[in-house]
Amino acid sequence: MKIVNSITLLASRRVSAAVRCHKKFNSDERGSVAMIFALSIIVLCGMIAFAVDVSRTMAVRQKLQAAVDAAVLAANPLGTQSPGQVQDNVTAVFNSNMPGEYGDMNVIVDPPLAIANGYQVTAHADVPMTFGQILGVNVISVNALAQAVRAQHNLEVSLVLDNTFSMNGQRIADLQTAANQLIDEIVGGMSGTAAVKFALVPFSNYVNVGLPNRNAPWMSVPADYTQTVSGSYQTTDWAGCPTTTTTYTCYNDGVPQTCSSTQCTTPGPVHTVNYSYPVTHTWNGCAGSRAPAPDLNVSATFGAPIPGILDVGCPSPLTRLTTDSASIKTQINAMIAQGETYIPSGLMWGWRALDPGPPFADAAPYSVGSNATKKIMILMTDGFNTRSQGGNIATDHEGWNAPAADAAMGQLCTKVKATGIELYTIDYQVNNPAAQALLQACATDTGHYFNAQDSAALQAAFTSIAGTIIRLALSK
């Protein structure tokens, strides 16, 4: 019995020792942790290295997208280029935006795809992996797509063009060429669903609102009349009188000219001359401004009409907003240079052409948003204000107060821009720092002001404006 008990006790002790050994083995994790840590380090290092490749891939993707964005915007800026020219534009701009550091990649830009009212450009790049190969990844392909469409909003464009005497000759011919080209470029580049209207406002020191508007409720024009002028004056007989001629510098619209004056040095006897003749006072379509100066109110109604000024000259009549671009071009070609410069007159009637209220009420409402009608005014002049409001009468533009005219111009520019109208200004061979500063301040911003010193620069200015108006905009 003792032997059995001893054997049993010995067996029990050995079992207990085996259990304790097993528990000790299970509780000792140092070897397994080291193994797991070693494996984790390998995986972690691989992931970090692969992250470097992924980061480079993301940078390539961003650069690729920027390149296709730039390329699609350059596809066909004015909508007038052939498919071959479009392809060349896209390729050149894309390549200039993908620097040489990406030369180790297979980069492909697809031919531009014409879509409704615009273009689509796609590109692909295969980015080779440096560390990703450890994980079996040799190349990652990235793609980029960009779409650009022309604006879908309607346009209203008011052309306020200098027709003063200083524009005579080649200058007005240059203006006619440039303005006609702008119209062609805008019309040709508009999207199929958008409409464009043009207004034309030739100006000197007056704007011609047209003889048919004599009895319009927003005009107040005196009746034409004829009166007999009679009287007498004393003079001398110049027959056989020796004369002297004096030359001097005179000015017409700020342009210096040579004038002369002849005097009799030995006058004959004084005698009296009687005269009597009829004088007809006529309205030629010229609109003045309401007193007191300056008239800054765009509205014109029966209760507050615009005064018509008799016995003065003004350019060809303005043309209200119309979709008939051919008629606008015809009126541009008919412009004739004459008169002095009062820029506020052109600005005011250019504004009235775009204003939804009276006198014309042809324009769309002022509004903002994607569906709003975009309103543009383009003011072009070759000079500075030589006349002001209030000369012979308070409502005419026969004054000589240029600072007052400049101040009125600045106030009008501010009011026009406050409505949301986009205002471009072009000076053509002005060469007067004060006048150039005034025109630059008048524009919406410095990017809307152009200084043109020759016919090529004038045409480039109008073309740049047309391109900005109808430019492609990224849509995707």
Q: What is the residue extent of each domain of the chain? A: 30-150, 155-221+285-474, 225-281
Q: What does the pLDDT read at residue 401?
A: 97
DSSP per position, 262-325: EEESS---EEEEEEEEEEEE-EEEEE--PSSSP-------SSSPEEEEET----SPPEEEES-H
Q: What does the pLDDT read at residue 92?
A: 86
pLDDT digits (tens, 9 = 90+) for 412-456: 999 999 999 999 999 999 989 999 999 999 999 999 999 999 999
Percent of the chain exceeding pLDDT 70 equals: 83
Strand bridging mode 283-287 / 422-428 = unpaired
Instruction: Give the distance, in angstroms, between the CA of residue 455 and the centroid of all CA atoms in the same chain.
Output: 20
**Residues in a beta bridge with 286:** 208
Q: What does the pLDDT read at residue 12?
A: 44
pLDDT digits (tens, 9 = 90+) for 233-262: 888 777 778 888 888 888 777 778 788 888
Rounded mean pLDDT of 192-209?
Answer: 92
Q: What does the pLDDT read at residue 473?
A: 64
Output the pTM of the full model.
0.74
Report how far apart, in Å, the C-alpha atoms of 470 and of each of 80, 152, 324, 374 are. 12, 10, 18, 11
Q: Could you tell me what percentage of the chain is helix, strand and coil, using 3-state DSSP and rounding each to the nearest 5?
A: 40, 30, 35
Q: What does the pLDDT read at residue 29?
A: 52
**Residues in a beta bridge with 272:** 234
pLDDT digits (tens, 9 = 90+) for 369-412: 767 899 999 999 998 999 999 999 999 999 999 999 999 999 99
Q: How confident is the model at residue 8 (pLDDT cuts 50, 70, 90)?
A: very low
The pair of three-digit structure tokens given for residue 234, joined into one six-digit string: 């004393």
pLDDT at 27 over 60: no
Rounded mean pLDDT of 82-111?
Answer: 79
Q: Are 434 and 407 in contact (CB under 8 A)?
A: no
Among 86-100, 155-169, 225-239, 452-466, the minimum mean pLDDT is found in 86-100
Q: What does the pLDDT read at residue 139?
A: 83
Provide the edge-to-edge strand list for the sheet that holds 196-203. 319-322, 196-203, 155-162, 374-381, 422-428, 449-452
Mean pLDDT for the chain overall: 85
The pair of three-digit structure tokens given for residue 227, joined into one six-digit string: 């009166």
The pair of three-digit structure tokens given for residue 305, joined into one six-digit string: 């009409």
Distance CA 277, CA 465 (A): 53
Rounded mean pLDDT of 14-30?
Answer: 46
Q: What does the pLDDT read at residue 7?
A: 28
Task: Give the dihedral sign, CA 250/253/256/258.
Answer: negative
Amino acid at 318: L
295 or 92, which is more confident?
295
* Whether CATH 3.40.50.261 fits 155-221+285-474: no
- The set of residues, in sequence order, having a beta carbon less than 8 Å from that of 272 and lying 6+ positions away, is 232, 233, 234
